[in-house]
Structure formats: structure tokens, C-alpha cells
Structure 1
Amino acid sequence: MSRRVELREYLLSRTALAEVLEAVVKKYHDRNGVSGSVRLSSDEQVTALRRLGCRRLGSGRLHLDDLENALRASPFQCGVVDALEAWSGRPPTTRAGVRGAADAAWACFAERLTGGRSEREGDPVAIWLAEDERYVRGEWERGGENVGRDLLRVADAGRALRPEHDARPLAVFANEVAKDPHALDLDRPARRFFDRLLLALFADAEVALPLRAEGREALLAAAGLAPDDISSDVVVANLEGEGAIPMAMRATGLPLTLPLMTVNALGPVRARFGVAWVVENPPVFRILLGSLADVPPGQRPTLVCTAGQLSVAARKLLDVLVGGGATLRYSGDFDPGGLKIARGLVRRYGEAVRLWRMDAESHARAVQPNAPKPPPGSLRTLRAAFPELCAAVEEHGVAYQESLEEGLVADVLAETDPDRPERAGFM
């Protein structure tokens, strides 16, 4: 039987030593070698160590150099490192060794990412790593093989960018570089890395973290790519302007669902009477639209439906309307989602936004008996913006704007009165 096998059997048979050896493994790791001491917690541990040959145990501590000397003088003729490996079945590690191995592994992967090219050579991935290596390495170390695949995919995408060419749809570009048109969709992990690569490559786009929809769009434009400008849309009725779309609305009185592509191509449009009535829910939009059936098309106020949180198309349209001097009258649900939309509009457009039947009094009229309460903590970040309303929702429950249908319709119909002295100025 070899000395190593004998040593392993000896150490495993001394159950009192298990806790001591675990502490020695940790101390060896933290001290990067055989140094320091560990605390002993029982007479059995002291007895087992004395039998092994350790002498300096009077302080209730085991000094690792004492253990080293005892092991070398024992029949096993080995040191602490050999003993720990025999006991645990694997070599003990040191902090410096682990760090060195991690550094070597990262250096190898970074070499794969850059293909050996440097920042001075203009390699886009090397440029990215020069600015963002700490983040990229951290994500790679935490995410392992899956993140590694995403990073390599983004590296390929970075080298395939052609910002000087006509803009390519992002999905087409993703299919070219990854054989998957959805590889760089917002819900894919690779998109996070791709956005950060673009931030490093196109600093002149003046986009900063945290990224929002407009920032991502600006980065894509700088990179010669185009966002999905079809699936992002907004519903609108009764725009004012000279283009084909406002004229079609005026002629038919019908609303249109406008994709981002169309919003970007609208040209100068305005909100009729200087007010855009913005609602969150499609059913409410339909009720308001129906209430205008007997009003001449040229006298119908501008209505906008966000269908929940604002899409890029909705923001772009409201940007245009506010830029043309419009006031936005927003009405939404009395729940975390509706209040978040309201807060976002106020933050973005400031005094150009006037909340419409969104106060504690309106909530009291809309809330139903035994209304569900909002999830705990869901209104915490909204209290600063709407203290009274959040308190009412937390106490009495959520409510929905459909319960205010009559008042909403009355407000919009009042806007159609040609004798109204200040169409935009009530409530």
C-alpha cells in the first residue's frame, strides 16, 4: 500500500480532524501557502493532532508550519499540500492561483474575441474591450459557455458593421451574421452586449447608459442599421396637417394604426385645437371615437391610444405633437402600469402634460367594492410623483378608466364646441 493511500485512510479515519482540515484548506487558500494558524474547538482535535506529531497546540490553535513539520517527520513523509490532496481527493488551491487561472482563461477567451487584433489596428471588438473589459469579463465569468457564445456572436456582428452603407434592417443584419433574424432582438442576451459594443464604437452618437428606446435607435442609426419600424405602432385619430394621412383622417373620420416607419415619414402634423387626448386602453379609445360619430370630421379632437406602455412609435408621435405646441391630456388606469405611464409622460414632456381625470377624487368615483389591492411595493417609486393618488390606490384598491367613461366622453365632446373660449384650458 502506498504512503498516499495510507495517509488518506489515516486522515479519513480521524473524524476529529475533518473540521480542522477544512479550516486548513481555507487558510491555505487565503494565505496563498502554508502559513498562519487555525482555531481548534475540541480536546479530541488536540489529541488527534498530538498523535500526528504536532507540538505547538497550547494556545488552542494549530499553526500550519507545525503541521508541516509533523507530517514530514511522520511515517507518511509528506507536507501539508500532499496531505490535503490525499484527504480531499484534489489539490488545494490558493487565492493567487485561482486568480492566475482566471486571468489566463480570460486572456485566452479575449484572444478568441479579438482574433488577436488590437485596438490600434481598429478592431471593433478590441476597441470595445479597451473601454468595457471589466463588464464583459464579469458577464463571461458568471455566465459561462452560453454567454461566451453570445459574446463571440456579437464580435462577429461588430466586424460586420458597415455604417457608411445604406441602413440595413437589424433583423436582416442579424440573419447575415448569426443565421438567426432574432439573434439581436431586445429579449435576447446578446443584444445587451451588442448595445454596449455600439456604445464604445459610436461615442459621437452621445448616448449614455442606461439605454432607452431612443438611445438604442440612435446607436443603430450610427451603426448603419435600422430598428424594427413596423411592429412598433400607435393608434391615432384626427390629426391635423396637409399630408395624405391627416387628409384621409379628415375625409373618413376613421383612426389609423401607424407603424414607426409611417410616424417617421409623417411630416408636419398637429393636434387639432392644440390638444391631444391620450388614453392607455383601446376600449376607452373606441368609446371616445364612437362618441364623436355625429361631430363633423373637421371638428373632432385628436385622440391617441398607447395600448399600454408607450412604444417608440407612440413616443415619436407625441414628440411631434408636443413640438408643434400641443398639450397632452393623459388618462389611464389607477394601477402601477397606468401611473408609470403618467409619470413617464410628465418626466418627458413636463408642463405640456395635464393629467385627465387621474386624481384621488376620480379614483374614488372609479374604484369598485372589494377592488384588488396593488402588489406590495409596486407603488413605492411612484409615491413621490403622485402621493395622494398612490395612498388612495393602496388603501382602496386599483381602478380602471372604463369606470369614468361618461366623464371622459363629456370632456372630449366639450372640446368640439366651436364657441368654447379656451378649448385646451379646462380641468
Structure 2
Amino acid sequence: MPPRPPRTRSSHPSLLLERSAPTSGVRMSKLPSATHDWLTGPGLTRLWDGVRKRLESNGLQATGSLRLTMTNDQERNDLSLLLGKPLTTTAVTVQLDMLDARLRASAAGLGLRQTLEALGPPLTDRRAARANAAARREHVWSSLASSLDTSPLANQEWPRQWHDLLRRTGVPKGVTPEAAIQTLQQAVHVLTTLLGPEPRSPLGRGELAAMATGSAHGLDDGTWLARLVQRGIALAHGTELPDDAASRRALWRLVSVTPDEVSSTVLTYGIRPDGESWQQQALRERAEHHAETHLTQRDLHTLRLQLPAGTLIHICENPRVVEAAADAACVQPLVCTSGSAATVVFTLLDALAATGCRFTYHGDFDWPGIALANRVIRRYKASPWRMSTADYEHLATRTQADGIPQLTLDGPPVNAGWDPDLASAMTALGVALHEEATLDHLVADLSRPA
């Protein structure tokens, strides 16, 4: 086979760069296919990567220089053709203005910026983007300052502290400047309603939220708007920002806002408080009739719980235990966390603890159940109620012997604060056991007189 003839100088795509621009003055909008393929080859990859970063960082200006070190033979060859000069060292310095001029004088007539965009994605002016983002952030806080200066709160001291604190804290991640301005204006409106000079009647939190945002849930715990308003209330009253649900409700009450205190309840059974109020009598009567009782946060505000000192209160995790206790006419008092121990549960348990009650706790043998048990037992110095390693192993053996399907134990292990061997035993067996599996034992315990 005869040798392949060498590529002539005029056929190399890089030579398109040496040809003069068309005399008509019309510039090409894109690179010829052969030139595009050559420019995107491996010999020029590092050059374009470096040039792209340099232009994006300096306002898209073809100024300064770029130094490439440790170039290989192909890179030096292609760079030599691109720049129109021989390169003899492995370190190459490229003047960006000269490269821009050479590209503009080529047949394609595209400058450095246009060439980069023809080879890859559009360039981003990062300097301008940073300046724009900074301007938008500044607009957030200048808008807040303007809203405060023109509000009835302007003559008070705390709004300036609130503004400065929020500015230091910043806008939560993912909130756009436009959304931030809207939320901050809503916060000013709410705080003006609550702390302004005009007298007003007490409001429900949902009602206040609907007035400010159009949604009754606009001031729910966990929303940024609620945190903004709570910070303002705390500053105005010289108190700390609350970090738990009960303290947040107390903060709302400082400004005559009533949180929702009726939708969340704690399930109880057999509570027999002393006293002659209708609530105390009602609890005793329901206990005598073996009826469960749901208590709201509103009930607990006015209910005076006084039980004989040392009364033992059993605490369970699942409502089914309460139902079974009522069906069996059990005599021991019982409080149910209903799986998560909402604030109203702890409000009741705190009140019972204040009267000198003692506690014993049983929950599910799974990792969330152990975590909840740790929380309750630690808080009230409760004793574990059939929650030992031996209890777990016995229950696992019994359910297996009875042919009950075994529920797989999922999730990361949680150490039990009352029994250091329980987590390893649960991990070894890998079986989750809920309270319903030991219901007969629990009911038997609740049936015994104190």
C-alpha cells in the first residue's frame, strides 16, 4: 500500500484562523465544522478551560494572561498553530488580548468570548452576578428599613434591633429576595398589629395569620414568618426567643394571641384528681365508669390537678393499650403518648409530676420506641415497665412460638438508657415488637390495685 500523502498546509483547519475576514464585512455566526472539531480537540482543552474561568471572573474582558505549564507535544503543537508562533518550552503564556485579536482577524471573525460560546455553554459574568446578588440582598434590608420607618413602630427602640438582628442572621437558604421582601413586610404588618399603638381585641393565631398572609397556617410553628414575628415579640418584651412549643405559646399570649389549643389532645384513663371543680369531678366520674378522656391544652390551663403524693402513673405509647384497659375495667391511671408525645402530653405529665406523682413507662420495642422511652424516662425519672432485655427476648420467643409474623427491625440502633444490653439483644434478633404483642401483660399490671 503506498504511503498516505501528508496533509497539505492549506487543508489544516487551524489555518482558517490565518485567513483574512471576508471583504464584505459580514461575520460568521458560528465556526466552520472542521475548525470547531479542531478547536475542541484534546490539545486545546486546558486552554479553553482556563480562559473560560478567567473571563467569567473578570467581567468577560479579554485581558491579562494565562499560563499553562507542563504542556505535552500535542498541546504545544496546537497552541503554536492557534497563536501563530513556535513554542519551544513546556510552559506557555497566552496573552488574552492577542488571542482575541487573532481570532477576530480569522475567517470566522469571532472574538475570544464568542469563540468560547461557540465551543461550549454561554459564559457567565460572575462578577456582575455577584454584584447583582449583593444589590438584591441589600434591597431586602433597605425595604425592611423603609417599612419600619414608615410604620407606627418607628418611635420604638426594638424595631431597629430587630432589623439589625435579622440582617446578621440573613435570609433562609432557598428564599428568593422577592419572597424575602414579601415575608418581611408581612412580619412588619403582624408586629404592627400586635405591638402598635392602636388598641385591639385578642386574636387567634390562625385568624391573625389569615389577616396577614391569606392562610390560617401562615404563622404555624416552623415557618420563617412565625420566627420573624416571635423574634420581634421577644425583643419588644425583653425576653429570650423561646426554643420549645410551650414557651412559644406563652410568648404569643404576651401579645394576646391565642394559639390553637384544642386540636391536639392527650389520651388518659383513670385519672382521679382531688377537688370539687366540675373538671375534677368529671375526671373522677369518667374514671369510675372506666371511660377514657381526651384533654386539650386548653383544658390543662384551667384544670387543677392534685393527686395523692406518690401516685403511680403508668405511661404507654399506643392508644390500643388505653382501649384495652378501659375494656378490662383496669384500676391503675394511665397516660398515652400516642406515639410521638406532643407538647400537650408533656404539659399533663409535668402537671402530674408537680403533684408528686411517680411514673413507669412502656413503649414499642423498635428504635423510635426506644428513643421516645429514653426521652420520657429521663425527663420524669420514670421506671421502665416491662422494657428489659429479658422482657424483649421473652416476648420475641412467645410471638414466634404463636406463629405471629415477625416484623423486621429497621433503622440505626438506639441505646436504651435504662438497660445497656437491650439494643444489642434487639439487633441480634432483628425483630420489632409493638405494645399490642404484650397487651395481656400490660392489662394484668393495670388491673392490680396500687
Q: TM-score range by the shorter chain?
A: 0.7 to 0.9
1:192 aligned residue: 224
5 Å-filtered alignment, 1:74-223, equals 75=105, 80-81=112-113, 84=116, 90-94=122-126, 96-115=127-146, 117=148, 122=156, 127-133=161-167, 135-140=169-174, 150=183, 152-162=185-195, 167-186=202-221, 191-199=223-231, 201-203=233-235, 204-207=238-241, 211-223=243-255
**8 Å Cα contact 2:66-2:96 kept in structure 1:** no
Whether 2:81 is the aligned partner of 1:51: answer yes
2:432 alignment partner, SS class = coil
What letter corresponds to residue 248 of structure 2 in structure 1? R
**8 Å Cα contact 2:209-2:218 kept in structure 1:** yes
**8 Å Cα contact 1:281-1:306 kept in structure 2:** yes
Structure 1 residues 400 and 92 mapped into 2: Cα distance closer, same or farther (>3 Å)?
closer
* 1:39-84 alpha-carbon deviations (Å, 9 max, x no partner): 57654443333223265955545535x2322333562699755654
1:406 aligned residue: 440
2:263 alignment partner, SS class = coil
* 1:333-361 alpha-carbon deviations (Å, 9 max, x no partner): 11123222212213323x2x112111111
Shift of 1:174: 0.6
2:359 alignment partner, SS class = strand
Q: Distance in 1 between matches of 2:182 and 2:354?
A: 44
- Percent identity reads 19
2:317 aligned residue: 280
Q: Distance in 2 between matches of 1:301 and 1:26?
A: 74
2:15 aligned residue: none
| TM superposition score normalised by structure 2 | 0.75
**8 Å Cα contact 1:276-1:326 kept in structure 2:** yes
* 1:64-117 alpha-carbon deviations (Å, 9 max, x no partner): 5x23223335626997556546655745424x4432221011112333444454
2:425 to 392, 399, 411: 392
Aligned residues: 398
Q: Distance in 2 between matches of 1:346 and 1:162?
A: 41
**8 Å Cα contact 1:373-1:394 kept in structure 2:** no
Greater helix share, 1 or 2? 1
**8 Å Cα contact 2:57-2:125 kept in structure 1:** no
Q: Distance in 2 between matches of 1:390 and 1:57?
A: 69
1:26 aligned residue: 53
What letter corresponds to residue 161 of structure 1 in structure 2? L
Q: Distance in 2 between matches of 1:54 and 1:134?
A: 54
Q: Distance in 2 between matches of 1:137 and 1:58?
A: 54
Shift of 1:19: 5.2
2:344 aligned residue: 313
2:40 to 8, 11, 15: 15
2:376 aligned residue: 345
What letter corresponds to residue 391 of structure 1 in structure 2? S
**8 Å Cα contact 1:334-1:363 kept in structure 2:** yes
Structure 1 residues 185 and 389 mapped into 2: Cα distance closer, same or farther (>3 Å)?
same
Shift of 1:265: 1.1
2:249 alignment partner, SS class = helix
What letter corresponds to residue 374 of structure 1 in structure 2? L
Structure 1 residues 335 and 126 mapped into 2: Cα distance closer, same or farther (>3 Å)?
farther
2:101 to 48, 64, 72: 72
**8 Å Cα contact 1:360-1:388 kept in structure 2:** yes
Q: Specify every segment of 5 or more residues in structure 1 that has no aligned partner in the other structure, as ranges.
A: 294-299, 417-422
Structure 1 residues 169 and 59 mapped into 2: Cα distance closer, same or farther (>3 Å)?
farther
2:314 alignment partner, SS class = strand
Q: RMSD between aligned alpha carbons? A: 3.6
**8 Å Cα contact 1:276-1:302 kept in structure 2:** yes
**8 Å Cα contact 1:167-1:221 kept in structure 2:** no
Structure 1 residues 62 and 375 mapped into 2: Cα distance closer, same or farther (>3 Å)?
farther
Q: Distance in 2 between matches of 1:110 and 1:311?
A: 37
Q: Distance in 2 between matches of 1:316 and 1:106?
A: 42
Q: Specify every segment of 5 or more residues in structure 2 that has no aligned partner in the other structure, as ranges.
A: 1-21
Q: Structure 1 residues 103-112 or 314-323, which shifts more? A: 103-112
Q: Structure 1 residues 150-159 or 246-255, which shifts more? A: 150-159
Structure 1 residues 197 and 56 mapped into 2: Cα distance closer, same or farther (>3 Å)?
farther
Structure with bigger gyration radius: 2
Whether 2:301 is the aligned partner of 1:264: answer yes
* 1:217-257 alpha-carbon deviations (Å, 9 max, x no partner): 23323443222101111122323121322212323423321
